[in-house]
Structure 1
Amino acid sequence: MVANEENAEFEEADVVVIGSGMGGLAAARTIAQFGGKRVLVLEQHYTLGGMTHEFSRAGRYQFGTGLHYMSANAGPFLEFMTDGRVQLAPLPDEYDALHFPEFDFTVPATQARFRARLKERFPAEADAVDGFFRATRRAMTGLAARNVLASLPAGVRRAGTPVVERLFPSAYRSLRDQVSRSFRDPRLRAVLAARWGLYGTPPDRSAFGYHAAVPLTFFMEGTAHPVGGPREVNRIVLEILQRYGVVLRPRQRVDAVVVERGRVRGVDVEDTATGRRYRVRTDTVVSAAGVRNTYALIGRSGELADLPEEPSAVMLFLGLDRSPAEFGVRGENHWFMPDLDGHDGFRRSPGDGTLYVSFASLNNPAARFHTVEALELVDPKVVDQWRGTPGDERPDGYRQLKEELTGRLIARLEEQWPGFRETIAFAELATPLSFETYQHSVRGSFYGLAATPQRLRSARAGCRTPVKGLFVAGQDAWGSGVVGALAGGLMAANAVLRPRQLGTMWRALRSGGAAADPAAPWQGYLRVAATESLTPTVRRIRFEPLDGDTIPFSFTAGQYVKVDLPVAVEPIERSYSICSGPGERGFFEIAVKHEPDGLGSGFLHDELEAGPALRLSGPHGEFTWEPGTGEGTAGTEGTAGTADTAGTLLLIAGGVGITPLMSVLAAAADGGHTGRVVLLASFRTEDEVLFRPEIEALRSRLPGLEVSVLVTGREGRIGLDELRPHTGPATRVHLCGPAPMMQDLIGHLTELKVPRDAIRTEAFVSGRSRETRRERAHAVALAATAAGVAEFTIDMAGGDPAFPCAPGQSVLDAANAAGVAMPQSCGEGACGTCRVRVLSGTYETDTRGMFSAGELAAGWRLACQTLPTENLVIAL
């Protein structure tokens, strides 16, 4: 609470969202996007994203926390939340294997095939199967009607709720009641009542509407796993929310929702990282913290006494040193039922009940190490004696329970797959107390409110509350799981937004979200199709689509991609030029030099094999050339209109700098270029000469191609004599290589009357140079702090307004933060686009060989690499 309002800190927001699970994020996006509201999201955990976040262990294993598999088509809600950018890898066609004491049953994709298999296995009840699925459709409709109704005003809810139950009674029956009414064979009943673990309430207590919606409808058209894991969904969603101006704050504990005269007036918050307490004034709060937590925040928990207690779970996370495919697992989920009646499966001792096992690493093409997750729903009372004790102070009895449960669960896996135990390199068990701590759920509830008929009939179980301006999002507003939580967030938005805004929202939901910006680089995963050693130090890597025949973006010759390399807990990003031609649409290739001690290049050379997927973005860069132009696209200057035959296209490469130039040559050949093209390439030794066969093949397709390859140990460097026959006022140059070489050659080309704006440059940026820049920035910031300097000023020659620059910030970053327009492309010092002239002031910088000695003397620098150490005056 804010104890003294006179001295309290206050902020304001149009809407506050409590919790950053998928329900809270869905409400935040829709209210910001369609309501035009300033939305603040407060998350108690240090990681945003709720159950879509992942954690790592042993420096190698990545584990999801709540999203194990989903519908193969993602559904319109998830399509909307990710703007259609989420990539899904399908699970095997028979995606759920059910193991009963006396028989097994595998669930195939599509409801039609599932029904056919049921009839084949249980022919005596074939007609009853058809009747059961008709009841399933009715129950699903009833659940949806009830949930939408729960988002409407109180008067409509009171009038409509009994009508929905009369029209759709099967939605309100227990699952056990419905299967008993439909079938005589206990095995058939068991098969159709199985997988209740997807929403967490056993058959004798669960409302059939939830069972109809989740295992019998949502998963029936096949299942899939997000490529890159659940955190990729999280990453995309958070990125989109920031685009709509949503403010996201982790480590913020909401202590109370402030209510005056029956309506919301704000929330009291503690920043647990700093201890700061403040109040956010607002008249609209959306709580994605669950119904029980929400009512606790307004001091009305007693109003939920009619709702039955919900189950919790234990989850075992295993890291393996070998693939589970060795045991015949193809990526399907396995369900182990200790009996035909799921009621007993829940009531058994922890470790002996209904067990769900998933193999995320087999279904995620980007997974580097193999993991297994095993989940058993349990009564939260199993840890009551330790509830309330700090995590690092729990007694030995709690650790013994965890060890016993871990051993019991592993034994069940060993029984199914003999030898499995030997593959386990890491094991960790989460208990209801873990979910209380990290999910902040009441008594470790895993799926929110129990999916019971009482919940469907309760006026408190939904997105509306008795307090005006207070709404509930997430699983408790619709149903279980990540997509159920997402739907609950949309129900909250349905209650908050105005009718006209709602029409726009639902039209957008049906269309699947915002269209991708055609000017923005594509981001996603591509599969490594092949690797090839070109020289002892250079490796060529081919990427292809995960599915389909066409790579998902087009590029211009000379551009590059950024690749996330999974070499540590968090991937590192590296940039690599494309060496294949833009006319090839089925794949593209990069060529990577193995740098001594290079973390990224070391992984690509020593560890990467064909098969896995890597996340990348592209295309990037302005070092481009297209057929029909005399020079590359010059960024903000546009495309030159000089004809191909007006001059020479001179391509100069040093070592692996030939990579983007090979793409230029391929584009020229594919485009029927008839002008003069000269390739001057230098390499240190004969063994390091790259692309000889490819260059020879291009000679027949480019009649104007002249090639000169120099081995510097024998012929020396490219100098004035090598350049003079190919240069003049009409020459267009693309130069790429080591920084000292480029600095010298820029000077030579200028001396030979080649216009400076006709010289295009690109430098290779290693991971080590990025680290060096970070170290320089840190040193500059420390020195400024020691001198008592909090900010530098950068003045613009010509009268443009000055802008501030924080110590350690580059000129380019400071300009972007201040909204000052400045030419730019890569931000890494590779392209040379962000040229600025420093007229006065001191600074730290790295020119990357982008300037001649004369240009450096005149003050030309790269804005992205220049760190002021005092006030500067610059000119563009």
Structure 2
Amino acid sequence: MKSTTQQDYDLILIGSGIGALTVASLMAQLRGKRVLILERHFIAGGFTHSFQRKGFHWDPGLHYVGQMRPGSSTRHLFDLVTHQQVQWQKMPNLFEKFVYPGLTFDLYDDPQQYQADLIERFSAEAPAIRQYFKDLKKGSAALFLDAAKQNGSFLSKLVGQVAKLWHGIDLSLTTQEYLDQHFQDPKLKALLASQWLDYGVSPAASPFALHATIATHYLNGGYYPVGGAGTIAQAVQQVVEDHNGNVLVNREVDEILLDEGQAVGVRVRNLKARDQAFEEYYAPVIISNAGAYNTYLKFIPAHYPIPFRNSLKQFVEKQSPATNVALYIGFSEDPRQLGFQGENHWIYTTFDHQAVECEKGKWLQSGQPLQAYLSFPSLKDPKATKHTAEIIALADYDSFASWRDQGWLHRDEQYQALKDRIQSVLLDLVEQHYPGFTDLVDYCEVSTPLTNEHFTDHPKGGMYGLPMLVDRFAPQNRAWTKIQTPIPGLYMTGSDVYMLGIVGSMMGALLTASQLSDGISILQAFMAAAKVKAVESNTDKPTMAKASALS
């Protein structure tokens, strides 16, 4: 195959998820770097991309984001990363519904009301509920400080050690262990864990600190990007290109190039070239947003000595990632006529979350899933022109593995028949709770773990990268997720260095940027974001020069 070479970038990022986009934008704006982003999909953005069919619009990875209140430090940072080109629509005050057999709980965007509503429903456990809300803050702090301690400076490590005396939460404490220690009512325990699919690990296996981080993230409600998640990558691509960088899609990384043990570039396959020609790109800094598994087990030559390669491989083979099926729905009429206002619905047919995890593959051939997540992109987005919904349910990878070698859009009739059954079962489950729902359906499309695997190359089509199990945080496994790799010049970013999600991956990217030789500290990034916001408020005309001038 032919090979072409280009070697005039300051920084190369593998993957275009929010972790890569954040590093690219900050290094371009605040350090003037010429950045190259490489993406194997034909659309940039990773799980922040959008897609359309017949005028209907969906976001396969982003369903809602917390902590985007105007004036918050997180919003300021996001506005800096996207150069103020992404607007956020707040979801309704009642933004989540937890639906169980005989029990429905409305979650509002006021943590005090959330606490009061829980106490009203479970008055006998009022002291434990109040303590729970205090412990959410401690658990959330514990997870971030742990990541900072693992990847930060000596000062960060010292702060992390001292802070542990305050929060007192070890990452080996599971969510279920915490709930069992503090609560008696099994329905209350289940209710508090309702959002666990946001991080993909059941309460029995997830660190309480992870649960606390997600729960805290949504205490003040949810937000949605106006125009859909695809606006995020579009905004950052403009930032990168304005600084003489580039974003290339249909580029599958084949190998990270090494010179005397140091990362110096990447070899990629151009998936759109007639002969899928190889291209080589060079830079003194390579940052992988493709996850620890792909980076260490696919991109780095097998002969290079990575001391933890076998343990990482064994972990991924043993611990299945969170995988799902999704049903994308287009409506013929406005779903608000059934009472929906844009809130998310977490539908469970059992209070046993461990059963949901254990049974995630059995329903595909018979029966129905024990849970489903129902979301309405069009009711969150004021720019939507047609009404849409998504239904997501856990499903195992093995049920689809036999079709793995059949190409996307070219799988056989049996695969299509299974997808048809998934569609029917998910619609029936929602119809049972909301009669008249199926009458509004005009278009449907099903995605499976194979879809995720094809576009993201995540092992077994996982949604979130390395599963955030307690074992992932064991001392002997820490090297997998360190930002500084054993190879000079090669760094990690994205969900594997801190945690999953839009804001989680963005914060992981801040940790990555702080580790680069001419990088940006977390404090500098937040200060630059606040200053840009102040200048914008005074002039109402933001310019690309502001971020550089204020850094």
Q: Which band: TM-score by shorter chain? A: 0.7 to 0.9
**Deviation at residue 111 of structure 1 after TM alignment:** 1.3
Give the CA deviation at 1:407. 0.6
Q: Distance in 1 between matches of 2:288 and 2:449?
A: 22
Change in 2 beyond 3 A, CA 1:204/1:162: farther
Give the whole-Å Cα distance in 1 for the aligned partners of 2:236 and 2:58: 19
Decide whether aligned partners of structure 1 residues 502 and 173 sit closer, same or farther in structure 2, where only a CA change above 3 A counts: closer
Q: Give runs of aligned pairs for residues 821-836 of structure 1, distance below 5 A.
A: none
- Go from structure 1 to structure 2 and tell me whether the alpha carbon gap of 1:476 and 1:133 turns closer, same or farther (over 3 Å shift): same
Residue in 2 that maps onto 1:183: 183
In 2, the alpha carbon distance for the partners of 1:432 and 1:386 equals 11
Asked if structure 2 preserves the Cα contact closer than 8 Å seen for 1:342 and 1:354, the reply is: no
| Structure 1 counterpart of 2:223, one-letter code | A
Is the Cα–Cα contact under 8 Å of residues 513 and 520 in structure 2 kept in the other structure? no
Aligned to 2:547: none
Would you tell me which structure has more helix in proportion to its own residues? 2
Residue in structure 2 matched with residue 720 of structure 1 by the alignment:
none
- Residue 379 (structure 1) aligns with: 396
Count matched residues.
516
- Report if aligned partners of 1:19, 1:289 keep a CA contact under 8 Å in 2: yes
Aligned counterparts, 1:617-636, within 5 A: none
* 1-structure distance, mates of 2:503, 2:5: 37
Pairing partner for 1:321 from 311, 317, 332? 332
Secondary structure of 1:150's aligned partner: helix
For structure 2, list consecutive stretches of 5 or more residues without a partner in the other structure: 544-551
**Are the counterparts in 2 of residues 290 and 474 from structure 1 also a CA contact under 8 Å?**
yes
Q: Which moved more, 1:426-435 or 1:236-245?
A: 236-245
Aligned counterparts of 2:538 and 2:24: Cα–Cα separation in 1: 25
1:285 partner letter: I
CA distance in 1, matches of 2:455, 2:145: 33
| SS of 2:528 mapped into structure 1 | helix
Q: Distance in 1 between matches of 2:521 and 2:213?
A: 28
Q: Deviations over 1:444-492 (max 9, x none)?
A: 1111121222223332124232222211111212222222222222221
Q: Which amino acid aligns with 1:281?
A: Y
**For 1:746-804, what per-residue CA distance to the aligned partner results, in whole angstroms no more than 9, with x for missing partners?**
xxxxxxxxxxxxxxxxxxxxxxxxxxxxxxxxxxxxxxxxxxxxxxxxxxxxxxxxxxx
Aligned 1:398-437 pairs, distance under 5 A = 398-437=415-454
Q: Is the 8 A contact 1:29 1:244 kept in 2?
A: no
Question: Does the CA-based 8 Å contact 2:510-2:522 persist in structure 1?
Answer: no
The 8 Å contact of residues 22 and 485 in structure 1, kept in 2 or not, is answered as yes
Alignment-derived partner of residue 338 in structure 1: 349
Give 1 or 2: higher strand fraction. Answer: 1
Question: What SS is found at the alignment partner of 2:484?
Answer: coil
- For residue 58 of structure 2, the aligned residue among 55, 58, 63 is 63
SS at match of 1:292: helix
Measured against aligned partners, the alpha-carbon deviations of 1:57-88 in whole angstroms (never above 9, x if no partner) come to: 12x11111211111241724323222344322
Report if the CA contact (8 A) 1:39-1:247 is conserved.
yes
Q: Which moved more, 1:366-375 or 1:476-485?
A: 476-485
Residue 30 of structure 2 corresponds to residue 34 of structure 1: yes
Are 1:489 and 2:491 matched, yes or no?
no
Q: Partners in 2 of 1:470 and 1:278 — Cα distance?
A: 19
8 Å contact from structure 1 (residues 110, 220) kept in 2: yes
Residues 110 and 422 (structure 1), Cα distance of their counterparts in 2 relative to 1, 3 Å cut: same
Check if 1:358 corresponds to 2:358: no
Could you tell me how far apart the structure 2 residues matched to 1:287 and 1:465 are?
10
- Equivalent runs, 1:666-705 vs 2, <5 Å: none
What per-residue deviation string (whole Å, max 9, x for no partner) do you get for residues 126-149 of structure 1? 111111122211111110101222
Output the amino acid matched with 1:386: W
1:405 deviates by 0.8
Find 2:14's aligned residue among 15, 18, 21.
Answer: 18
Quote how far apart the aligned CAs of 1:499 are.
6.7
Question: In the alignment, residue 98 of structure 1 is paired with which amino acid?
Answer: F
Residues 190 and 442 from structure 1, CA distance in 2 versus in 1: closer, same or farther, beyond 3 angstroms? same
Q: Aligned equivalents of 1:336 and 1:170: distance in 2?
A: 31
* Residue 286 to residue 80, structure 1, CA distance change in 2 (3 Å): same
Alignment of 1:520-669 (within 5 A): none
Q: Distance in 2 between matches of 1:207 and 1:388?
A: 35
Q: CA deviation at 1:500?
A: 7.1
Distance of aligned partners of 1:499 and 1:44 in 2 relative to their CA distance in 1, 3 Å threshold: closer
Match of 1:302 among 294, 300, 310: 310
Q: Distance in 2 between matches of 1:61 and 1:500?
A: 40
Matches of 2:229 and 2:135, distance apart in 1: 33
Are the aligned partners of 2:91 and 2:222 in contact in 1 as well (CA < 8 Å)? yes
Instruction: Say what the alpha-carbon RMSD is for the aligned residues.
Output: 2.7
Task: Give the superposition deviation at 1:400.
Answer: 1.5
Q: 3-state DSSP class of the match of 1:195?
A: helix
Report what 1:744 is aligned to.
none
1:8/1:107 CA distance change after superposition, 3 Å:
closer
Deviation at 1:394, TM superposition (A): 2.2
Q: 1:176 to 1:500 in 2, by over 3 A?
A: closer
| Letter matched to residue 117 of structure 1 | D
Q: How far did 1:338 drift?
A: 2.1
Give the letter for the 1:267 counterpart. V
Distance 2:520 2:96 in 1: 43
| Residue segments in structure 1 that go unaligned for 5+ positions in a row | 524-876
Q: Tell me by how many angstroms 1:415 deviates.
A: 0.8
Give the Cα separation in 2 of the matches to 1:9 and 1:89: 43
**Amino acid aligned to 1:338:** T
What does residue 128 of structure 1 align with? 128
Moved more, 392-401 or 194-203: 392-401
How far off is 1:428 after superposition? Answer: 0.4
Q: TM-score, normalised by structure 2?
A: 0.87
**Distance 1:355-1:27 versus aligned 2 partners, 3 A rule:** same
Deviation by residue 1:300-350 (Cα, 9 ceiling, x = unmatched): 553413453311111110000011111111111100112112111122234
- C-alpha contact (below 8 Å) 1:201/1:311 kept by paired residues: yes
**Aligned twin of 1:257:** 256
SS in 1 for 2:92: coil
Q: Report what 1:787 is aligned to.
A: none
Q: Is the 8 A contact 1:29 1:246 kept in 2?
A: no
* TM-score normalised over the length of structure 1: 0.56
The whole-number CA distance in structure 2 between the counterparts of 1:452 and 1:223 is 25
1:56-135 matched pairs, under 5 angstroms: 56-58=52-54, 60-71=55-66, 72-73=68-69, 75-76=74-75, 77-135=77-135
The answer as to whether partners of 1:142 and 1:209 remain within 8 angstroms in 2 is yes
**SS of the residue 1:270 aligns to:** strand
1:131 is aligned with what amino acid? Q
| Corresponding residue for residue 496 of structure 2 | 476
Distance of 2:539 and 2:352 partners within structure 1 = 56
- Deviation for aligned residue 1:495: 1.4
Structure 2 CA distance for partners of 1:220 and 1:379, relative to 1, 3 Å: same
Letter in 2 for 1:172: S
SS of 2:62 mapped into structure 1: coil
Spell out, residue by residue over 1:143-179, the C-alpha distance to the aligned partner (whole angstroms, 9 max, x if none).
01012223237x9999998887786434431111111
Q: Separation in 1 of the partners of 2:520 and 2:355? A: 50
The share of aligned pairs that are identical, in percent, is: 27
8 A Cα contact 1:83 1:515, kept in partner: no
- CA distance in 2 between counterparts of 1:519 and 1:136 reads 39
1:235 aligns with 2:243: no
Q: CA distance change for structure 1 residues 161 and 390 in 2, over 3 Å: closer, same or farther?
A: farther
Q: Secondary structure at the match of 1:334?
A: strand
Structure 2 CA distance for aligned equivalents of residues 520 and 186 of structure 1:
52
Amino acid at match of 2:110: T
In structure 2, do the counterparts of structure 1 residues 426 and 28 end up closer, same or farther at CA, with 3 Å as the change threshold? same
